[in-house]
Structure 1
């Protein structure tokens, strides 16, 4: 998959089939849209294009919004690539772009820049300045500029919307099971391992402190989670705490992973932390010894989770 940082960077003499949207989460609700794109692409000989935007339009048009996103742009690109998309255009969204008229968007971008043959879009999609143009206008422009418009049904559009909302709400509550069900994969965090206070190693549970530089990334609710990560080609299991470490007087929010049976230097490494299950809330224990007892129980629960998962997979 080729990635472009603006519409201006893209150029192709081959006709394209396009879909556009935020695609935050690239979840089950999006899959039907992407499947339509790939199927049309394969049957027509055209190339598939996903046009998305950053910052998220709500970040620009609603200045006071504090929207958190399910994916960073690199995470979104990774997920879209798994679907077999040919081209991903991440166009900078700003007020000037939002002021394009409907016909300017169609003629200057879809037709002249993207060389469009077909667009796959929601039946309720609105576009152009002040979002006044409708799907009927797009169909009209399709006859004028010779491209096809395939509408996504109301049911499919609702599925995308409901899934996104449910995923965000579930993660805010720490309900990783519901989030993963709607995503169709394990929710994950991507970040760099940085130095922490190194308190974990003093009680036998050394942790990798994960720094996520994108402040718009949605972090699940405080608590302890079962996780895994691919490190140097090997899957390593672990347990992750999201919180402030109140038992040892912590106040700042941290994301810390204790990898099981693993003792290598990870400082500076970028890791993708897959979240499988939530074990419990973060708790302020009466003593460090009480915390250690609980961490031992968490470790056993984590080991049992992966043992049960292996047994389930082997019985299939």
Structure 2
């Protein structure tokens, strides 16, 4: 699956595609419904399917100081889109130019001329263009003038509530990774490069693979039962992790610190993806290392129990 840049023309074999258009951060059940409709439409007409996403998220452009809220990186989205049957991921690089593009130009100049789209699928509440001047009705009416058919997919409900990225973020901030996983159809994950730390964990028998949280949403600070995939080998490990600022140590430093059970290999400089399965307890400050070690042993025992119960 290839990655396309909205600032460049689409390769000729991908012109005439059906485009699923949205932010798709998280790629939850609602997003999957939009993409599924686009892929099925494309297959029915013998066309390629392209999934278009925005990076950075438009909210990040207009309000750069908002706390991190990303659920997936572009690399993660590209893999998920490929698994969903798309031929390509089209990235709209959101900046001043795109923010000032009217809905009419977005349709006529980009979707029609630059990309040669034959059809577009969005969610019913999707908006686009300068000052959010475009919606499904504008896309349908203006798209028709350019030979583009537009379809909109209604919201997907779970327990009588609409599935949304906001709902997933709220679950993670509340320490409920299982609810987030139910809406995502998979656990929430953070992917990053293992970096060198102060190696305190190694001295107390719990070496951790420290990962910067960067632009990911911060789940509730605390201890989690998790799995980790080593990206270059595909090996999957079980473990427990602290997410937070490590209040027992000075100076505080925000990190994801997974400790993997029964693993003694070298992970420094390697990319791993950590999947959150169960929240065990909030982050806490301890009076000394003995108290911390005793609690870590209890946390790891609980994480092993939860992971072995296959309730993730």
TM-score normalised to structure 2 length:
0.90
Q: Is the 8 A contact 2:9 2:115 kept in 1?
A: no
1:242-281 map, 5 Å: 242-281=243-282
Q: 1:160 and 1:38 mapped to 2: Cα distance? A: 26
* CA–CA separation in structure 2 for the residues paired with 1:143 and 1:5: 24
1:187 aligns with 2:194: no
Q: CA 1:198/1:62 → structure 2, altered by over 3 Å: closer, same or farther?
A: closer
Q: Secondary structure in 2 aligned to 1:151?
A: strand
Distance, in Å, in 2 between the alignment partners of 1:124 and 1:185 is 24
Which residue of 1 is the match for residue 77 of structure 2? 76
- CA distance in structure 2 between the aligned counterparts of 1:82 and 1:296, rounded to whole angstroms: 38
How far residue 125 of structure 1 moved from its aligned partner, in angstroms, is 3.6
Distance of aligned partners of 1:254 and 1:99 in 2 relative to their CA distance in 1, 3 Å threshold: closer
CA contact (8 A) 1:248 1:288 kept: no
Alignment partner, residue 10 of structure 1: 10
Residue pairs, 1:224-243, within 5 angstroms = 224-231=223-230, 232-243=233-244
Write the deviation string for residues 183-236 of structure 1: whole angstroms up to 9, x where unpaired: 110111111111111111222111111134xx3211212111111112333211
The 8 Å contact of residues 11 and 113 in structure 1, kept in 2 or not, is answered as no
Equivalent in the alignment of 1:176: 177
Q: Which stretches of structure 1, 4 residues or longer, exceed 4 Å deviation after superposition?
A: 157-162
- Residue in 1 that maps onto 2:152: 151
- Report the counterpart of residue 307 of structure 2 in structure 1: 306
Question: 1:106 maps to what in 2?
Answer: 107
Distance in 2 (CA, whole Å) between partners of 1:233 and 1:125 is 36
Query: What is the distance in 2 between the residues matched to 1:65 and 1:245?
Result: 23
SS in structure 2 opposite 1:226?
strand
8 Å contact from structure 2 (residues 29, 163) kept in 1? no
Deviation of 1:262 after TM superposition, in Å, equals 0.5
Between the two proteins, the alignment pairs up a number of residues equal to 308
Q: Give per-residue Cα distances to partners, 1:132-182, cap 9 Å, x unaligned.
A: 3443332222332222221222x3499997421111112122221221121
Q: Give the conservation status (yes or no) of the 8 Å contact 2:225–2:304.
A: no
1:28 shift after superposition: 1.4
Q: Distance in 2 between matches of 1:177 and 1:157?
A: 17
Matches within 5 A, 1:189-204: 189-204=190-205
Higher mean C-alpha deviation, range 138-147 or range 17-26: 138-147
In the other structure, the counterpart of 2:44 is 43
- Structure 1 distance, partners of 2:195, 2:286, is 26
Point out the more displaced range, 193-202 or 5-14. Answer: 5-14
In structure 2, what is the Cα distance between the partners aligned to 1:82 and 1:21?
17
**Residues 226 and 279, structure 1, Cα contact 8 Å, conserved in 2:** yes
Give the distance between the partners of 1:32 and 1:135, measured in 2 at CA: 16
Post-superposition shift, 1:258? Answer: 0.9
In the alignment, is residue 33 of structure 1 matched against residue 50 of structure 2? no
Cα offsets for 1:106-149 (capped at 9, x unmatched): 22111112222111123344433323344333222233222222
Which structure has greater helix proportion?
1
Partner residue in 2 for 1:219? 218
Contact residue 224 and residue 278 of structure 2 kept, 8 A: yes
In 1: Cα distance, 2:243 partner to 2:83 partner: 28
| Distance in 1, Cα, partners of 2:240 & 2:85 | 32
Query: Structure 1 55/233 Cα, relative in aligned 2: closer, same or farther at 3 Å?
Result: closer
Stretch moving more, 171-180 or 156-165: 156-165
Identify unmatched segments of 5+ residues in structure 1: none
| Residue 237 of structure 1, CA deviation | 0.8
Does residue 138 in structure 1 map to residue 145 in structure 2? no
Q: Distance in 2 between matches of 1:160 and 1:74?
A: 29
